[in-house]
Structure 1
Amino acid sequence: MTSDRAAFPRPTNPSERIDAIDVLRGIALLGVMAINLVMEFRLSIFEQFLGPKTHASPLDDAIEMILTQAVELKAFALFSLLFGAGLAIQFDRLANSERRTSLLLRRLAVLLVFGVIHLCLIWNGDILTEYALAGFIVLPLLFAPRWLLALAALAFLALYLAMQALPPAGLYPSRAAIWRDVMDANRIYATGGFLDVLAFRLREIPLIASLHAFVFSRTIGLFLVGALAWRSGILQNIRGLFVIALPSIGLGAALLHVGIEPLGTILLALGYGAAILGIASFERGKRLLGWAAPLGQMAFTNYVAQSVIFGWIFYGYGLGLFGRLGIAQALAIGIAVYAGQVLFSAWWLRYYRYGPIEWLWRTLMYGAWQPMLPSRVAAVRTQLSSRTSEAQIRDP
C-alpha cells in the first residue's frame, strides 16, 4: 500500500527548506546580476572579444578587475552547483512516488518553456534554457550510485577544460561577425523600439548559442558536483564545508594568479559556496546573512524581474542608457535594484508561500493548483471570513 506522500507528491513546504542553501542562492544572484548588468545589459556581450576598452575612470577599472577576477564566472558556477543540488534534493524527496521521473521531466520541460520565452521575448542572455537542457542529461544519472556520479562529473569537467585548452574549430563566430554584431547592437539596443530590439535579439541567438556551447559541459559537470554534494551529506556537514572551503579558495586563487583560469574558477566557486553555506549554518551566521534567504527562495522570480527592469533601463524602448554608462554608474543602479528585491522578497514571503514564478512552476510541474497562502495566513483569512458571515447573518 502506498503512502499519502507517494500517492500525492507535493512541493517542498517552505518550513522544510534548507535556509543556508537559500542564503547562498540569494548571494550568488548578486554576483550574477552584477556580471549581467556590467557586461551584457550596459553594452554588447561581444565587446569583450574585441579587446580591452579604455574606461572613463580609475574606479571603473578597479571594479572591472574585481568583477573579472573574483565574481565573473564564479557566480554562474555557483548557480550551476545549486541547481544540481536542488535537482538531487527533488529527486530524493520524490523517492517513494511512482511519478518521480515524470514529475521531474515535467519540471525541466516547464523550465525549458520559461527559458525559451525569456530568451526570445525578454533577454537573450538567458541561462534557464541551458539549465533545462543540462538537467535532461543529468536526470538519468541521478539513478546511479555516487561513484558513477563522481566519475561523470570528472568526465564532463575534463571535457570543458580540454575545450578551453584546445577550442574546437568553428565554435566561436569570426571576428568580423562579432564586429558587425557589436555595431548593430550599439545602434539598435540604444535607440530601437520594442519590435526592433526583439528582432535583433532573435537574430543574435546563434551567436549567443556558441558561447553556451563552450560552457555546456561545465554546466553539466557542476550539476553533478552539486548533486554529489547533496548525496554525500557534505551540504549538511558544517566542519566538512570549511575543510573544503579554505583549500579550494586558496588553490583557486593561486591558479587564477598563474593564468589557469578555467580550473581556478571552478575551485573558487566551490570554495565560495562551501564557505557561505558553512557560515550560514551557524546561528550568528544566519543573523548576518539571513537577509539573502527570501531573495534566494524567490531567485527565479527575481532573476526574470532583473531582466525586465534592466531591459527597460538600457534599451531604446525604455530609458535607452545602453552604451552610455560607466561600470560604476551601472553597478550603482544594479545594487539599488537588488536592495529593492531583498526588501520585496522578504515582504512577499510574509504573505505567500512562493514567489509568483516559483508558484507557477510548481503548479505546472504537479499538474495541480498549488496553495499560495501560508497555512497561518489562510487560517486567519478563513476566520475573518467566518466572522464576517456570522455578523451578516445576525445583522442582515
Structure 2
Amino acid sequence: MTKDNQQIVQPSERIYILDILRGFAVFGILAVNIMAFSLPNHDFSQMIINSESPKWYDQLALWFNEYFTEGKFYIIFSFLFGLGFSVQLSRAEAKGSNILSFYPRRLLILLGFGILHSFFWWGDVLRIYALLGFVLLAFRKLSNQWLLVLAALCFVLSGLVTAFPAVFGEGSGAPSDSILKSILFGLTHMGPFVMGMFFLGRIAGQIKVFEKLRQYKDLLPKIIIFGLIISVGLRVIVSVFTTKPGGIETHLKGLSDMALAAVYVSALSLLSLRENMAKYLNPMGYVGRMALTNYIVQTIICVGFFRIFDLEGKVNAGLLLLMTLMIYGFQLLYSRWWLRRFKYGPMEWFWRSFTYGKMQSFRLK
C-alpha cells in the first residue's frame, strides 16, 4: 500500500459528531432548496402563494424557512468543509503523506460533480467549494492568528459585496445564467463569506475542538445563549429599524444566520455528549457520512417529482415542508441500510476511488 492510499480514512477513524452535523445540514439544505425545486425553472422570482389569504400552515412553513433554515445551513457546510480539510491534512502529515499528492485531484473531481449537478440545479455549491478549496490549500501553513485575520477580512469583504452589489460586477445568479457566469457570480457574491467560514473551520480543526469536545463542554451552553441573543437581537433590529430590503438589512440577516448556525452546531455537539441523547442523533450520522450522495439525490428526487407530475409552481409552502420531512426521513432510512452493507455512499466511493487513483474496497465484510 502506498503512502497516498494510507491516507484513506477508515470508519473507525471518523469524528462522528462531524457526520451528525453534516447529516443535520443535509436536512436544512433540502428545506431551503425544495422551495426553488418546486418552481418553474427553479426561479425564486416566481414564488407565489396560491391564495389571497395564505393558510396558516403555509404561513408557518414560510416563517420556519425564513427564521430557522434559510441561510444557516450553507454556513454550517462551509465551516465543516474547512474543518474536514484540516482533519485530512493532519492525518496525511501523521501518516507521512503529502496532501498535494491527492487533494488537488479531490477538488477537481468535486468541481466535476458540481458542474454536472448544475445542469439540473443552478444553485449548486459544489463548484464554489471546489474552487475555493484551492485557496484553502494554498494557505494551509498559516497560523491560527493569520487565519483569523483572513477570516475577518473575508467577512468585511462579504459585507461590502452585500452592501454594494453593483460595484462587484453584474450578474444575478439566476437560472438563465450560463455555468461560467453563475460560477463567477457565486465566487464574487458568496465566495468571501464561504472562504471566511473555511478559515474558521480550519482553525477549529487545528485546535481539535471536535476531537476534544468534552474539554469544551462548559463553553457550549454559553455559545448557545450568546448566539441566540445575537441572532434574535439582529432580527429585531432589522424588523424595527429597516423599512425596505437593502444591503444593510441583508448583511444583518447574514450575521444573525451565522449566530444561529453556531447555536445549532453547539447544541448538537452538547447533545452528542449525553449518552441518553446521542442515540437519537446517530441516524443523522449515517446521512452525514453520505452527505455528497444525499445532496445530489435530493436534487434527483425533487426535480424528477415536480417535472414528471407537472407540479412546478403548484405546491404551496406547507406541503413543501411536509415533503421535506418525508424525503429526509427516506434518506435517514436508506443511508442507515446502505452503510450497514457498504463502507461508503456511492458518490463518496467514486470520489475516493478517483482521488487516490485506485478502486476502493466497497462492501463491508
- Global fold match (TM > 0.5): yes
Partner of 1:243: 222
- Secondary structure of the 2:359 match is coil
Deviation string, structure 1 residues 144-180 (Cα, Å, up to 9, x no partner)? 1111111111111111122222324364548xxx9xx
Partner of 1:386: none
Is 1:368 aligned to 2:365, yes or no?
no
Partner of 1:233: 208
Partner of 1:62: 60
Q: Return the alpha-carbon distance in structure 2 between the equivalents of residues 70 and 128 of structure 1.
A: 23
Q: Return the alpha-carbon distance in structure 2 between the equivalents of residues 5 and 93 of structure 1.
A: 15
Q: Report deviation, 1:326.
A: 0.4
Partner of 1:385: none
8 Å contact kept, 1:248–1:271: yes
8 Å contact kept, 2:72–2:261: yes
Partner of 1:319: 309
Q: Report deviation, 1:39.
A: 3.5
Q: Report deviation, 1:351.
A: 0.7
Q: Report deviation, 1:132.
A: 0.4
Partner of 2:268: 276
Q: Report deviation, 1:208.
A: 7.5
Q: Return the alpha-carbon distance in structure 2 between the equivalents of residues 27 and 86 of structure 1.
A: 16
Is 1:167 aligned to 2:165, yes or no?
yes
- Total equivalences in the alignment: 346
Partner of 1:38: 35
8 Å contact kept, 2:39–2:47: no
Q: Return the alpha-carbon distance in structure 2 between the equivalents of residues 277 and 44 of structure 1.
A: 38
Mean alpha-carbon deviation: is it higher for 39-48 or for 233-242?
A: 39-48
Q: Report deviation, 1:347.
A: 0.4
8 Å contact kept, 2:221–2:267: yes
Q: Return the alpha-carbon distance in structure 1 between the equivalents of residues 59 and 82 of structure 2.
A: 34
CA shift in 2, pair 1:209/1:325, >3 Å: farther
Structure number with greater Rg is: 1
Mean alpha-carbon deviation: is it higher for 135-144 or for 241-250?
A: 241-250
Deviation string, structure 1 residues 240-275 (Cα, Å, up to 9, x no partner)? 333333212321221122122121111221221122
- Secondary structure of the 1:247 match is helix
Equivalent residue letter for 1:102: S
Q: Return the alpha-carbon distance in structure 2 between the equivalents of residues 56 and 50 of structure 1.
A: 13
Equivalent residue letter for 1:265: D
CA shift in 2, pair 1:172/1:283, >3 Å: farther
CA shift in 2, pair 1:51/1:63, >3 Å: closer
Equivalent residue letter for 1:301: T
CA shift in 2, pair 1:321/1:203, >3 Å: farther
Is 1:143 aligned to 2:135, yes or no?
no
Query: Counterparts of 1:121-132 in structure 2 under 5 Å?
Result: 122-132=120-130
Partner of 1:86: 84
Q: Return the alpha-carbon distance in structure 2 between the equivalents of residues 243 and 56 of structure 1.
A: 38
Q: Report deviation, 1:104.
A: 1.0
Q: Report deviation, 1:288.
A: 2.2
- Secondary structure of the 1:351 match is coil
CA shift in 2, pair 1:160/1:335, >3 Å: same
Q: Return the alpha-carbon distance in structure 2 between the equivalents of residues 321 and 268 of structure 1.
A: 33
8 Å contact kept, 1:23–1:296: yes
Identity %: 27
Q: CA RMSD in A?
A: 2.6
List gaps (5 residues or longer) in structure 1.
182-199, 378-396
Partner of 1:254: 233
Pick from 343, 349, 358 the counterpart of residue 353 of structure 1: 343
Mean alpha-carbon deviation: is it higher for 4-13 or for 92-101?
A: 4-13
